[in-house]
Amino acid sequence: MGKQFAALLPEHEEFISRQRLFFVGSAPLSSEGHVNLSPKGYDSLRVLSANRVAYLDLTGSGNETSAHIRENGRVTIMFCAFEGPPNILRLYGRGTVILPDSPDWDALYPLFEPLPGARQIICIDFDKVQTSCGYAIPYMAYTGERDTLQRWSVQKGEDELKKYRQEKNTRSIDDLPTPLGEAMREEGQ
């Protein structure tokens, strides 16, 4: 059955370190807006403390989590065991978007392996950790990372990635602004 904790325990951190995939959930304040759920791969998440994690967010076709964090801060991260004993672990908290020109970027980015197309770091300060059984989660075997996004980012190059982000990452599908869009507007792009 589900259990709740105020912070990560060492066994939670160990479980997180073994996961190759996690999911990020967020939603706008408007009941008409779209709930977002994004899968994240690569070695892109770091536990910063018992109540804080961060992940390196790569360029994609949308930027929903960023827009939702800007609007209301709410975010949930979920890990589930596809190998080994069943388990689901969720982190409930509030997020912050760290852009590459921020002083916080210089402190956090070195914690990650450099990945092509990195656009921002999402930090989550959470006050609730919840575990649940995961009995219905299927077994799945990990066979490797897809390199498609990395190859795409390298092929595009920084100038084209910047144009792509301007086109696809400045507003959410519900037309909410993103921190990246605000930064680009301030730069006059």
DSSP code at position 178: -
> What CATH number is given to the structural domain containing 84?
2.30.110.10
Domain around 82: 3-187
Question: What per-residue confidence (pLDDT) applies to 2?
Answer: 87
pLDDT in tens, the chain (189 residues): 689 999 999 999 999 999 999 999 999 999 999 999 999 999 999 999 999 999 999 999 999 999 999 999 999 999 999 999 999 999 999 999 999 999 999 999 999 999 999 999 999 999 999 999 999 999 999 999 999 999 999 999 999 999 999 999 999 999 999 999 999 888 876
Question: What per-residue confidence (pLDDT) applies to 189?
Answer: 62
CA–CA distances in Å: residue 84 to residues 46, 114, 133, 135, 169? 22, 29, 12, 11, 37
What total of structural domains would you count in the chain? 1
